[in-house]
Amino acid sequence: MIRTTPFHERTNALNETQLWSHWSGHLAANRYQMSDKFEYFAVRNAAGIFDSSPLHKYRISGADSTTFLAGVLARDIRTCLSGQAQYTCWLDDRGFVVEDGVILHTGRDDYLLTSAEPNLAWFEDRIGRLAVRIEEV
């Protein structure tokens, strides 16, 4: 079932092209204007808004959550203080990028992570004996 985001009414009114794609079960605008150039300069010279509603979101918690994340993320999660966020990517055993996203340190041993594609099983496969809980939110 295709869903719209909370911003759809507004983005639909601004979408001159009416070109839409499917992203994680949501409608997402491919572009808003006929020319990519106008969008480029609008973002470069003013601001842009990105509707992150379709992103996959995970809560990672537990006594070993920081240790777990330090083992799979490219950035040192130990430098991300509570209330802070980091852009990061996660790596496979060979050091290749699996996916990227933003992680928010919400409290002691508690994090929220976003990703464009589903990664829950990938993370769960790497928990091992660590005291970590990962849930889709």
Q: How do residues 49-89 score in pLDDT, each as one tens digit?
A: 888 899 999 999 999 999 999 999 999 999 999 999 999 99
Question: Which amino acid is it at 135?
Answer: E
Position 50 in a domain: no
25 and 87 inside one domain: no
Structural domain count, the chain: 2
What is the span of the domain harbouring residue 40? 8-45
Position 3 in a domain: no
Position 68 in a domain: yes
The tokens of 23 are what?
């992203």
The full length of the chain comes to 137
24 and 88 inside one domain: no
3-state helix, strand, coil in the chain (%, to 5): 25, 30, 45
Query: What pLDDT does residue 50 have?
Result: 82
95 and 62 inside one domain: yes
Chain centre distance of CA 93:
21
37 and 65 inside one domain: no
